[in-house]
A and B are shown apart, each in its own frame.
Chain A
Amino acid sequence: MRKGFLALLLAPLLMGQARPASKPILVPDVSQRDIEIAYSFTGADLLLFGAILYPGGRLPDDDKPADVVVVIKGPVQSILLREKAKVAGIWVNASRLRYSSVPSFYAIASSRPVGQVIDQRTRAIYELGLDSLQLSPGSSAPQAVQDRFARGLVDLKRRSGLYVEAPRAVEITDGVLYRARITIPARVPVGRFTAETFLIRDGRVLAAATRDIDIRKSGFERFVARSAEKRAIPYGLFTVFLSVLFGWSAGWIARRV
């Protein structure tokens, strides 16, 4: 199913190569292919840019504008979403829904609001827009409940800066060069991110291209995360040692001041 989706995604690009006379090609790039998380990491500013290559180097001469949509997705996570309700006067987690693959980060930038660029059905196919994410909950809950949970999840992620919609954030220069700036916050998980670029005109996806971005912890941060995961006992002992050392030395200094 995943392969099929990928083929669908790449179809316009492949077709573009097969019939160069009719379809434009996208040449995308990102300012950083690797993002290293170090001690002072507060997020990364990504510049996504590229060129639209029209066959024969000529812009189409009709007045229908071409739009560019850029989507950055973080690694998918398996999550349990809980909803609170008031039970006997206090708020407790009452119901839950499990999702097997939810993007940990999702940012969409476009030259015009996606709703004006493309119709609802195509948006659902390409997952363009926060209301078009394929969240696939792992239960047979009624549609109304699923919708309520989906809205809650998107709202939660949006307010914590992990889901971003930036209409009009893509600038197109002379119809051939485009650029967009997207900020990745510090609280994203590490892993492989994808940056997808879509060229849309007249309600149809003409071209699409993908670039990967790897986000990983580096140096000390990687060492700490690995130690905590793989060498739990020495890591715990060292933390205890550190606290005893801090406490003892503060007392030692205080007695001499």
Chain B
Amino acid sequence: MDVYLPIANLSVNAIVIVLLGGGVGLLSGMFGIGGGFLTTPLLIIYGIPPTVAAASSASQVTGASVSGVFAHLRRGGVDFKMGGVLVAGGMLGSIAGGWIFRLLQASGQIDTVIAVVYVLLLGSIGSMMAREAWVAIRVTHGAVAPRPRKRRHHPLVAALPLRTRFYASGLYISPLAPLLLGFGVGILTILLGVGGGFILIPAMLYLLGMGTQVVVGTSLFQTLFVTATATMVHATTTKAVDIVLAALLLLGSVAGAQVGARFASKVKPEYLRMALAIIVLLVGFRILLGLTWRPDEIFSVELS
């Protein structure tokens, strides 16, 4: 079933796009991630122009995070004060990201930068997750559990001024720390078309030292608002948001996310984390190969 995408200016097989969204949604429901880091590269491999792919997959992450946010709201798993600061930083970051995006686009290095940032992020976070999951799996097989790390924030965070209390997170830190964190994630959201949960969650745990019961809900809260802002930034600057593409992706991903969430409750979490780590590392490795192997297309055309 072919459908013409009015902004991407090409026709795609609707079923392939819905299934692609469904597959990513399945993973996002299973692992509690937005899945943008998979959608954007997969769309580019399918032949969608990179800008349209990054601009349109942000709205898929918005859709995927909505039902998660509601679920966490019902059981009080969102720290609104922390979330608000992160969102404020994220919105500023996405505006700055839009500016960086145009700058890199003009210099012709946007694709390389996107790929390099992907390789660095996916490589480091994937190996961190794999190591952590490996330790957890060994523990379930009778190994001695390592002493849990004392939960505390990074010394740099403690050095920042204007401390305030975040009751739900159990923290007394400067709001500048989450603001900067949100800012950085906002830039990545625009550049990579990702929600940033896979960076935000480790940062909240290990840099800020937030209470685990509010980490996922607050991260989804920030993802929801920042991806919505990213869609707006792309709609007004690059004008590359393809609503037909977004709707097809959403259709698959929101359905897949529900199926994935049910499946996740039946599998041991440490195996899930190991599986996610392997997927993250494979995607990162694939992008690294793309950078170092001779590309199929030496020449590329940009309208000016």
Contact = CB atoms under 8 A, between A and B. Distances in A.
Interface of A: 37-43, 77-84, 86, 89-93, 96, 98, 149, 152-153, 155-157, 186-187, 189, 217, 220-222, 224-225, 228-229, 232-233, 235-240, 242-244, 246-251, 253-254
Interface in B225-249: 228, 231-232, 234-236, 239, 241, 243-244, 246-247
A243 B59 contact: yes
A81 B299 contact: yes
CB-CB nearest 4 A-B residue pairs: A251-B67, A236-B235, A247-B66, A250-B254
Contact of A186 (B4, B63, B243): B4
Interface stretch (B6-14, B90-98, B129-137, B153-161): B6-14
Contacts of B63: 243-244, 246-247, 250
Given A232-B235, A243-B60, A93 B294 contact: no
B70 interface: yes
B251 interface: yes
26 contacts: A41-B2, A42-B11, A43-B11, A78-B304, A80-B108, A80-B301, A81-B302, A82-B108, A82-B300, A83-B298, A91-B292, A96-B108, A156-B297, A187-B9, A224-B6, A224-B244, A232-B236, A237-B232, A239-B59, A242-B59, A242-B246, A244-B228, A246-B247, A246-B254, A247-B65, A251-B70
Interface string B244-272: 10110011001101100100000000000
A54 B297 CA distance: 48
Given A90-B116, A225-B6, 13 more contacts: A40-B11, A79-B303, A79-B304, A89-B292, A90-B292, A96-B108, A225-B7, A228-B239, A233-B235, A236-B234, A239-B243, A243-B59, A246-B63
B108 A93 contact: yes
Indicate the member of B64, B244, B303 with the most A CB atoms within 10 Å: B303
A91 B293 CA distance: 8
B43 to A, nearest CB: 15
Given A243-B246, A254-B258, A221 B241 contact: no
B297 A229 contact: no
A20 to B, nearest CB: 45
B139 interface: no
B295 interface: yes
Nearest to A217: B6
B291 A221 contact: no
A99 B225 CA distance: 41
Contacts, number: 180
Contacts of B2: 40-42
Given A78-B303, A153-B299, A186 B10 contact: yes
B169 to A, nearest CB: 25
A16 to B, nearest CB: 39
A149 B59 CA distance: 37
B62 interface: yes
B232 A236 contact: yes
Contacts of A246: 63, 66, 247, 250-251, 254
Given A153-B301, A224-B244, A247 B7 contact: no
Given A40-B3, A42-B11, A248-B70, A228 B258 contact: no
Indicate the member of B2, B6, B10, B261 with the most A CB atoms within 10 Å: B6
A247 B67 contact: yes
Indicate the member of B234, B250, B291 with the most A CB atoms within 10 Å: B250
Given A221-B4, A236-B241, A250 B257 contact: yes
Contacts of B64: 247
A80 B297 CA distance: 15
Contacts of A155: 299
A88 to B, nearest CB: 10
Given A217-B6, A221-B6, A242 B243 contact: yes
A229 B7 CA distance: 10
Given A90-B112, A228-B7, A239-B231, A152 B241 contact: no
B71 interface: yes
B299 A92 contact: no
Contacts of A86: 294
A81 B234 CA distance: 24
Nearest to B241: A239
Given A82-B108, A250-B255, A236 B231 contact: yes
A247 B302 contact: no
